[in-house]
Structure 1
Amino acid sequence: MGNEQVATPTGDARADWEARIGLRRHGGSGRDQLPPPTGLRAAGGRGQVTLDWEPVPGAVGYLVHRADRPDGPYLPLDHQGGDVLAVPHPPYADTTGEPGRTYHYAVATLADVDVCGEPGGGVAAASTPDGPAAVRVAVDAAGTDGPVHRPWRRMIGAERLSHLLCADTTGGRPIGAEFTEALSIMRRELGVETVRAHAILHDDVGVYREVDGRPVYDFSRVDEIYDTLLGLGLRPVVELSFMPADLARDPDRTVFAFNAIISPPRDWDRWADLVRALVAHLVDRYGLAEVRRWEFEVWNEANLEVFWTGTREEYLRLYEVSARAVRDVDAALRVGGPGSAAAAWNGALLDHVARTGAPIDFLSTHTYGSPPLDLRPLCEAAGRPDLELLWTEWGITPTHFNPVTDGVFAAAFLLRGMRSAAGRIEALAYWVASDHFEELGRPPRLFHGGFGLLTVGNLRKPRFWALAALARLGDDQLPVTVDGDGAGSLVETWAARHADGRVHVLVWNGTLDQSKAGGAPALERDVRVDVAGLADRPYRVTHWRVDATHSNIEEVWARHGGGDWPDDAQWSLLRAADTLDRYEPDTEARPADGVLGWAFPLPMPGFSLLELVPLD
């Protein structure tokens, strides 16, 4: 497929996707509703109202409601994430309201993503349009809050891995070579360990065909793909999808520009044999010790009609057949699912596993537009608290060609989600690594609202710098207290210490409200950071910044011509600007009574990373 064959936001592929993506296959988990949280309180500030409440045992999340009058009606608050609106925990900043207007808030509890209780009693608050807005951050550099958990390292999402072998170009850039380098950057600069991608069983990989009515396997292209990935120091998440045409019940039902077949198998035994043969081949080629470190995930988002023509019961059968086939090869191989959209079907899969005894090692699911929910209560209720929680897709929006993906707003969103997930989720895989991505066609221009952390050409978007900032944190998490207008809900922080005494303090300002993606003056904050417990010695202090005019490659492109694709001179200019920018020159300072402090404005969206390096 040549570079000219692209899908635009108004193209046929996009229209088909939009028509089908919302068609979810429902089916409640059978769990009882939970009561609303107690202790709901609301505090108005400049441009925002912060809500807080007491956690409810067994909750996977909470849905904030708002009304114009005390007697309602209370409707779910839509922060325009386009997917699950519930959040895993408080506090929650509502920035969608009209400043100065009083709103009434209530919160409902989720026992599962599709089991929402009634909202509780309401509280009233109003934001203000102006006035001072300060946040104070106090870090104890001599203390410890335990190890830093890094859910971004476990996994990253990517275009189907056959793209590694693609010899075509997009925007004049070589697809396979740049996609390979993008994954190398994920490993080298962010410490990512595994890659989750679709379609290892797609017919462009050629694993299965039938000759004279008999199955024929060919894993040579799988070997080429996985050899390349392992050569980068990365391991695959083997998503068992999509269906080979010769094995499909509905071979004409497809998704994406590359025509992935979304059908159940027409012969379940032959599907099991294929899975078993693939896994056995991988063990034979890469060794049992290596493959025991991999994850085998059964299908992708079968709860959406766009990805599965069968019923929920047929997906559960697919899961069981596939999981048993994987384990037939070796009892210690790791398998899980449901890889579902919008955090659905996890309870249903756990119920099925409990009833049938099918093997499972992890739950995998997806969400966009909010931090991931807390699925641990589902595992505990099912008697499986040992299961790993792998969010194998997560991002700011599920919508292709959405401008929010290219800007600074996504960076603050990413920091909020990773901070929320740390310590309660094993993997939070940002979707995806590279804009060399063609679900609805190849990129039509450099900045097109692509899902990638990196552009075509491997320029780093602001949200890449968010992960890069997290990657710089040391291993020892430091105690931090935050107070002021929007503390903990709008402005958050993460601080850590290295063994050599270096200290990093990361502070970001962001809201879930995507109507403010372009920024909002009322949400800017004056931040004061004080780091106590420092040794009596000089420190070199570096202050990096990501905001509208710092570390924002899209803004650089807009200032230097914009358009569809850069020419050679523009590529050189963009590469020179592809850096994490300093907000101010480095300084040297000696603590006064063990304390160093800084004050700076922090826009929304934006983040600052402070590094303190002890000097001899």
Structure 2
Amino acid sequence: MSVGDLAEQARQRWVELMGTGGAQDRASGEVVAADLSPVTGLTAVAGRGQTTVDWDPVPGAIGYAVHRATVATGPYEVVDHGGGDVLAVPHPPYADTTGEPGREYWYSVAPLATVNAMGPLCPPVPGGSVAGEPGAALPAVRVTVAADGDTGPLHRPWRAMVGSEHLSHLLCADLSGGRPIGTELREALRRAHDELGVESVRAHAILGDDLGIYREVDGEPRYDFSRLDRVYDTVLELGMRPVVELGYMPRDLARDPSRTVFAYQAVISPPKNWDRWADLVRATVTHLVDRYGRTEVVHWFFEVWNEANLSVFWAGSPEEYWQLYRATAAAVKQVDPEIRVGGPASAAVGWIDAQLAVDAPVDFLSTHVYGSPPLDLRPLAAAHGRPDLPLLWTEWGVTATHGSDVNDTVFAATFLLRGMRSASRRIDALAPWVASDHFEELGRPPRLLHGGFGLLTVGNLAKPKFWALALAQRLGDTELPVTGVGDGARSLVEAWAARTADGTVGVLCWNGTLDHSRVDGAPELDRRVAVRVTGLPGQRYELRQWRVDAGHSNVAARWRELGGGADWPDEAQWRALAEADRLAEAEPRYVEPVGGELTVELELPMPGIHHLELRPLADDPGESG
């Protein structure tokens, strides 16, 4: 079979994958052949429990679909790591942990110009993984950090925004699990701002009936912004800004108010009167400018609707969505041309070409993906003459599935770090969905750990993924060069390092795979990591270390220790969980580099995170160790 035949086979399989799991309208059409060069430099290196697949980047590609077969002639299937959405990655390398150890596979990679345009499969190469022998030493990875280096300012993509479902929750006096919903959501946003540095929050249903901005009396529109003011006043008091998602449809303005989504029945219908929709948008934006000031509001993002490429969120046609976009963008710009409007806030990277081609203002691109790091949209923006267009991933996470246990795990924490490290310096915002488990798209939380999307549980206990971002936030502002060699280096085991103004060096290491079948860990993927720091100018340092893994900084483990049989903790259990709501830190010790170098050995389970920090000391605080 020729490479061309393999490429056509791959495209057909991609169509099938994009049309499964209820996502058929995500694919939004036939997958066509992209005018991209084939991948070169493909390698597949066997390791214990994993195969590291690497290749040279292809100009113009937004991502890559890694394929595998059991024989060189195929058939080739996209490696399915179980994350759903778009089974593609933005760049190499890729750790395949889904194969059977000891079995030979053949790998090929296809570049993507869009999620609907796939380039050719490259000539395949053999690869596989090996099984670990019982009692064998852990495979070694060596990470080297140049403490005297400088690769530029550290970019933290999570700081731009976080999700929070619908912000009317801030006004809710009800209890969930015995906890006050509105009060706890406010505290969750405060923690996101104060501990993670998050600057803004995006939420659904700003124009929906739960905030009650629009109604009709005797057939005439009436506006009431009082509840919206209370919500946005709170957001700004917390030091954050809102990302204004302009939706859903007020019931009185809907063409078909029976078309709804979510437990709170958000209306997904187009408007019955397009002029009144434009008037509503214009009145809302005008009110925000009047209340908060132009100099504030021009820093906000106004996003048009949510995932209209999914019929569950938009009952109209694609053409009607673009009519909505044009009417909305025009109304926003009539208030002030400097206010930023964009979209399409699409699921699974859909409709990006259409958004870039729409005959209306586009001040930023926004889209969503789950289960994989975000793709690289810069080539698409550049191809449309907009190389500097802000790129906002306004929803992102380890899974789009409500109530999936993976959301509460260390696996999700390593996933967040992989995505943030990948997105750094190429994406303006990568927003974890969402801040808090106070969330009711499909109803309110039934128990403490129920697979909620939140970084924080009901009760505002930090999940491992919150701690992952908190550790990344500890890094300094000057990024340092990092290299890695060994079994799974850069594909399984990654590191991010930075230096603070006082010379403190932080090194954040994690061991993780995208493969959801390894959510609970896999001993064959555990690694011994030697972190070697060079270029240290000081004579003595304080070494501090934090861990996130099955037994450390893990609310699920603590809940199990406390019994964890009931849906919700009793008061004594709540107190015990609150006392344990902190990062697990080892006893600090003092170390002395030799020749400006220092090596720290650590065991890093999969999934697992280890953060070490070297703070220079001017005076001897005690014995070195």
Where do residues 85-484 of structure 1 align in structure 2 (5 Å cutoff)? 85-130=87-132, 132-352=138-358, 356=359, 358-484=360-486
Deviations 1:428-458 (A, max 9, x none): 0000000000000000000000000000000
Cα distance change on mapping 1:389 and 1:541 into 2, 3 Å:
same
Q: What is the rounded CA distance, in whole Å, between the counterparts of 1:229 and 1:126 in structure 2?
A: 50
TM-score for both structures, normalised by structure 1: 0.95
Q: What is the rounded CA distance, in whole Å, between the counterparts of 1:256 and 1:124 in structure 2?
A: 47
Q: Give, in angstroms, the shift of residue 34 of structure 1.
A: 2.1
Alignment of 1:496 onto 2:498: yes
Q: Give, in angstroms, the shift of residue 250 of structure 1.
A: 1.4
Q: What is the rounded CA distance, in whole Å, between the counterparts of 1:570 and 1:134 in structure 2?
A: 40
CA RMSD of aligned residues (A): 1.3
TM-score for both structures, normalised by structure 2: 0.93
Q: Quick one: which amino acid aligns to residue 573 of structure 2? A: Q
Q: What is the rounded CA distance, in whole Å, between the counterparts of 2:191 and 2:23 in structure 1?
A: 31
Q: Give, in angstroms, the shift of residue 117 of structure 1.
A: 2.3
Number of positions where the alignment pairs a residue of Structure 1 with one of Structure 2: 594
Q: Give, in angstroms, the shift of residue 597 of structure 1.
A: 1.1
Alignment of 1:78 onto 2:80: yes
> 2:43 pairs with 36, 41, 44, which one?
41
Contact 2:33 2:119 in 1 (8 A): no
SS of residue in 2 equivalent to 1:159: strand
Q: Give, in angstroms, the shift of residue 463 of structure 1.
A: 0.3
Q: Give, in angstroms, the shift of residue 577 of structure 1.
A: 1.0
Q: Quick one: which amino acid aligns to residue 552 of structure 1? A: N
Contact 2:33 2:118 in 1 (8 A): no
Contact 1:21 1:305 in 2 (8 A): no
Cα distance change on mapping 1:25 and 1:411 into 2, 3 Å:
closer
Deviations 1:200-227 (A, max 9, x none): 0111111111112211111111111111
Contact 2:479 2:499 in 1 (8 A): yes
> 1:564 pairs with 564, 567, 577, which one?
567
Q: Quick one: which amino acid aligns to residue 571 of structure 1? A: W
Q: Which runs of 5+ in 2 are unaligned?
A: 1-19, 619-625
Contact 2:51 2:96 in 1 (8 A): yes
Q: 2:7 corresponds to which residue?
A: none
Q: Give, in angstroms, the shift of residue 78 of structure 1.
A: 0.3
Q: Give, in angstroms, the shift of residue 492 of structure 1.
A: 0.3
Q: What is the rounded CA distance, in whole Å, between the counterparts of 2:118 and 2:23 in structure 1?
A: 22
Q: 1:8 corresponds to which residue?
A: none
Q: What is the rounded CA distance, in whole Å, between the counterparts of 1:329 and 1:502 in structure 2?
A: 47
Contact 2:521 2:607 in 1 (8 A): yes
Q: Give, in angstroms, the shift of residue 178 of structure 1.
A: 0.3
Q: Give, in angstroms, the shift of residue 140 of structure 1.
A: 0.7
Q: Give, in angstroms, the shift of residue 74 of structure 1.
A: 0.2
Q: 2:61 corresponds to which residue?
A: 59
Q: What is the rounded CA distance, in whole Å, between the counterparts of 1:27 and 1:245 in structure 2?
A: 31
Moved more, 487-496 or 123-132: 123-132
Q: Quick one: which amino acid aligns to residue 473 of structure 2? A: A
Cα distance change on mapping 1:78 and 1:433 into 2, 3 Å:
same
Q: 2:13 corresponds to which residue?
A: none
Cα distance change on mapping 1:374 and 1:534 into 2, 3 Å:
same
Deviations 1:467-523 (A, max 9, x none): 000110111001111100000000000000000111100000000001000000000
SS of residue in 2 equivalent to 1:39: strand
Contact 1:480 1:495 in 2 (8 A): yes
Q: Quick one: which amino acid aligns to residue 92 of structure 2? A: P
Contact 2:376 2:426 in 1 (8 A): yes
Q: Give, in angstroms, the shift of residue 537 of structure 1.
A: 2.1
Q: What is the rounded CA distance, in whole Å, between the counterparts of 1:21 and 1:248 in structure 2?
A: 25
Contact 1:29 1:348 in 2 (8 A): no
Q: Percent identity?
A: 64
Q: Give, in angstroms, the shift of residue 159 of structure 1.
A: 2.1
Q: Quick one: which amino acid aligns to residue 551 of structure 1? A: S
Q: Give, in angstroms, the shift of residue 110 of structure 1.
A: 0.5
> 2:580 pairs with 577, 581, 600, which one?
577
Q: Give, in angstroms, the shift of residue 36 of structure 1.
A: 2.5
SS of residue in 1 equivalent to 2:279: helix
Contact 1:29 1:345 in 2 (8 A): no
